[in-house]
């Protein structure tokens, strides 16, 4: 009898130890998602929760790739307590922070320990703090140098964050912890900005919306590289979770619906059939991933596809693209997910989603939607005698991705608002009643924005991201005053035309960006103090008045190395306030800056030397600064710095409007600068 009891005890111990070992060997994410809710009331769950609390840093986030369920020694616990204030390596990559928040929510539902609630709310605050002003999130926060600063969709990082925010603002009860009203309001704002960022970063391939990349540059929003084998490309994997998120939105906007429809078309276009991925044992006894033909296999999508034509490619750690999986080394071939079936879930749900959207649109038109008499001719009048009282309302109501021009007529008045022409709003025209009395004004500046070194780019009064933009007969002001960087107009679009407009500010009044962008300013007035015309776009200023308000620099070009033209001023007049007596024509913001003044009238405020190198002597050789047949007291070609140029007649002949603005454009956009005038 004794031996039977002993055997039973031994058997129970074996079962107990086996279960404990299985739990330990489970991956952390599996423990969170696979266990029944009742498990979160167990002592085992409580022990893991103590680890989760220990690993959380004071900033609110967690490091990645931690198996929280593994027991900690006394020394390890002391070390984690000592690291509480350390902000290095805190991230949302690989599910970090978002999965710990889910665990805390699940255990709090069973054990309402206030420490779990506070830790969850601290994690939420971390997510809100980490967001860029443009709506994206970096991979690490505080920022870690390198590609980690890019907006990261990689491994569904941003989709995971936005899904948490959505559950909270929708009050679904999925998370057992409810923030206060003020935090929910912040969460709503962050969520809206995140969706806006998703819409802005959807990649256009030859003018057609497709999908998303794993990383997008945090400033330009363009596709960006990460690790050597993670080159800028369209992603079959990350795009799927993004689309599923967009499909989950209630009352989706026209832009969201367009984004989903476009992505689904791209998924259908890029699916790969007739193959599957298998792991086989090679001659060396090691498992090896291979592509096998199988006519019955479910569709797959490549993780990396070329931006221009969707061709799948593969990379080893040398960063060299290969056409097939078999061409890359063993370690990367078997240590990375090169194919995905993620979009299958999108395609599975798409038809039902589409029917639902269509039925909702018929049954219940958008709340507060304005019925426009003419959707291509919209009137803004702050007195109420138009379609809208604000300019932004009119822009938001405009059709997305229309090929037909939408004219927004703005009645005289001072419109105190921050205006943004979205990337999905090409062919928009803003036409004021008069330049003197139709005024758009705002007062953001570098210190007010307070978003770090890139704050300048967010200070705009008007931001143009939609291509083929036209603006006429109005004034755009930044009224911050002489207190540092404060942009009036930020143009990050191609083929933008401004005629008979005024741009008023101090430092950094006008920012023109986009390496391939072409802009045209005609019969305009531009004033400022330091570097008040700056950027990397190719821009022609013709018949404009350029007024310096203090001793400083007019231009700060950052022309890309291979661009033929940068800033070109033709038949312009350079004037100055009475206190401005020492003004430079320009200095190079980047090494290959190009700025040329042709047939311009230069006032006496222009210094004899003309140009500055910005304390960067090497730019004397790399930059290109030139003049041709200018007039006025400020035109002193014989005393200019010896590294600047006076164009010959033959050289000057190249500076035609066609050469400057028509190069590298399609036949359909030739002479685009004449079509809207």
Q: What is the 3-state secondary structure (H, E, C) of 101-112?
A: HHHHHHHHHHCC
480 has which bridge partners?
Answer: none
Distance between CA atoms of 456 and 531, rounded to whole angstroms? 12
- Residue from 387, 531, 551, 562 carrying the catalytic annotation: 531
Q: Is 531 a catalytic residue?
A: yes
Helix (H) or strand (E) run with residue 204 in it: strand 204-205
Scan for tokens 């198996």, then name that residue.
67
β partners of residue 81: none
Exposed e or buried b per residue across 613-648, where buried means at least 16 C-beta atoms within 10 angstroms of its C-beta:
bbeeeebeeebbbbbbebebebbbeeebeeebeebe
d(CA 312, CA 305): 4
H/E stretch holding 330 reads helix 330-334
Spell out a b/e string for 104-131, using b for 16 or more CB atoms within 10 Å of the CB, else e.
bbbbbbbeeeeebbebbbbbbbbbbebb
State the Cα–Cα distance between residues 129 and 343, nearest whole angstrom.
31
Q: Of 465, 431, 512, which is closest to residue 255 (Cα–Cα)?
A: 465
Using CA atoms, how far apart are residues 365 and 370, in angstroms rounded to an integer? 10
Helix 238-247 vs helix 254-270: angle between axes, to the nearest 10 degrees? 140
3-state secondary structure 482-522: CCCECCCEEECCCCEEEECCEEECCECCEEECCCCCEEEEE
The answer to whether 131 and 193 have CB atoms below 8 angstroms apart is yes
Between CA 107 and CA 32 the distance in angstroms is: 10
359/45 Cα distance (integer angstroms): 45
Between CA 332 and CA 453 the distance in angstroms is: 36
- Rounded CA gap, 90 and 213, in Å? 23
Close Cβ partners of 77 (under 8 Å, ≥ 6 residues apart): 54
Q: If residue 223 lies in a helix (H) or strand (E), which one and from where to where?
A: none
Rounded-to-integer distance, Cα 618 and Cα 442, Å: 38
Please tell me which residue in 508, 523, 551, 618 is annotated as part of the active site. Answer: 508
Which positions are catalytic? 508, 531
């Amino acid at each position: 009898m004794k031996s039977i009891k002993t055997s039973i005890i031994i058997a129970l111990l074996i079962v107990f130890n086996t279960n404990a070992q299985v739990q330990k060997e489970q991956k952390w994410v599996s423990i969170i998602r696979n266990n029944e809710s009742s498990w979160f009331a167990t002592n085992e769950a409580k022990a893991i929760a103590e680890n989760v609390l220990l690993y959380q840093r004071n900033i609110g986030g967690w490091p990645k790739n931690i198996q929280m369920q593994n027991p900690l020694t006394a020394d390890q616990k002391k070390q984690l307590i000592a690291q509480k204030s350390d902000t290095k390596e805190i991230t949302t990559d690989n599910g970090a922070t978002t999965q710990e928040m889910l665990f805390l929510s699940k255990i709090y539902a069973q054990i309402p320990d206030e420490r779990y609630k506070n830790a969850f709310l601290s994690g939420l605050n971390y997510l809100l703090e980490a967001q860029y002003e443009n709506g994206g999130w970096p991979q690490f926060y505080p920022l870690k140098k390198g590609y980690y600063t890019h907006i990261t969709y990689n491994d569904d990082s941003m989709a995971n964050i936005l899904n948490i925010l959505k559950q909270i603002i929708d009050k679904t009860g999925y998370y057992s912890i409810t923030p206060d009203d003020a935090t929910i309001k912040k969460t709503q704002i962050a969520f809206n900005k995140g969706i806006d960022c998703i819409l802005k970063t959807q990649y256009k391939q030859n003018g057609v919306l497709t999908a998303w990349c794993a990383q997008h540059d945090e400033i330009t929003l363009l596709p960006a590289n990460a690790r050597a084998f993670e080159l800028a490309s369209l992603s079959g994997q990350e795009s799927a979770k993004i689309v599923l998120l967009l499909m989950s939105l209630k009352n989706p906007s026209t832009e969201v619906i367009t984004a989903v429809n476009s992505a689904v078309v791209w998924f259908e276009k890029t699916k790969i059939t007739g193959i599957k991925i298998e792991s086989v044992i090679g001659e060396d006894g090691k498992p090896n991933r291979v592509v096998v033909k199988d006519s019955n296999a479910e569709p797959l999508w490549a993780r990396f596809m070329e931006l221009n034509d969707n061709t799948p490619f593969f990379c080893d750690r040398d960063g060299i693209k290969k056409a097939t999986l078999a061409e890359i080394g063993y370690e990367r071939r078997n240590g990375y997910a090169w194919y995905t079936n993620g979009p299958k879930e999108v395609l599975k749900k798409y038809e039902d989603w589409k029917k639902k959207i269509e039925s909702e649109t018929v049954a219940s038109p958008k709340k507060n939607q304005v019925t426009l008499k003419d959707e291509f001719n919209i009137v803004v009048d702050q007195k109420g005698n138009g379609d809208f009282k604000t300019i932004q309302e009119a822009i938001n109501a405009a059709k997305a991705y229309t090929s037909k021009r939408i004219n927004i007529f703005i009645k005289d008045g001072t419109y105190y608002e921050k205006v943004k022409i979205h990337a999905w709003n090409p062919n928009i025209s803003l036409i004021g009643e008069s330049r003197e009395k139709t005024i758009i004004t705002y007062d953001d500046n570098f210190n007010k924005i307070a978003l770090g070194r890139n704050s300048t780019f967010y200070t705009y009064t008007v931001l143009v991201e939609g291509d083929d933009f036209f603006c006429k007969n109005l004034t755009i002001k930044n009224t911050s005053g002489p207190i540092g960087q404060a942009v009036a107009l930020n143009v990050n679009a191609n083929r933008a035309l401004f005629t008979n407009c005024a741009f008023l500010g101090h430092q950094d009044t006008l920012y023109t960006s986009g390496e391939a962008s072409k802009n045209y300013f005609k019969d305009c007035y531009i004033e400022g103090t330091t570097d008040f015309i700056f950027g990397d776009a190719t821009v022609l200023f013709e018949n404009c008045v350029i007024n310096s308000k203090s001793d400083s620099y007019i231009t700060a070009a950052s022309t890309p190395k291979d661009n033929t033209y940068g800033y070109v001023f033709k038949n312009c007049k350079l004037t100055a306030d009475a206190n401005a007596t020492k003004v430079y024509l320009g200095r190079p913001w980047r090494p290959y800056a190009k700025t040329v003044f042709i047939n311009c009238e230069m006032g006496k405020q222009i210094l004899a030397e003309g140009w500055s190198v910005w304390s960067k002597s090497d730019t004397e050789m790399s930059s290109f600064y030139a003049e041709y047949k200018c007039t006025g007291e400020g035109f002193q070609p014989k005393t200019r710095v010896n590294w600047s140029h006076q164009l010959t007649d033959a050289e000057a002949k190249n500076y035609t409007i066609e050469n400057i603005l028509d190069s590298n454009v399609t036949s359909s956009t030739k002479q685009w600068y004449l079509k809207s005038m």
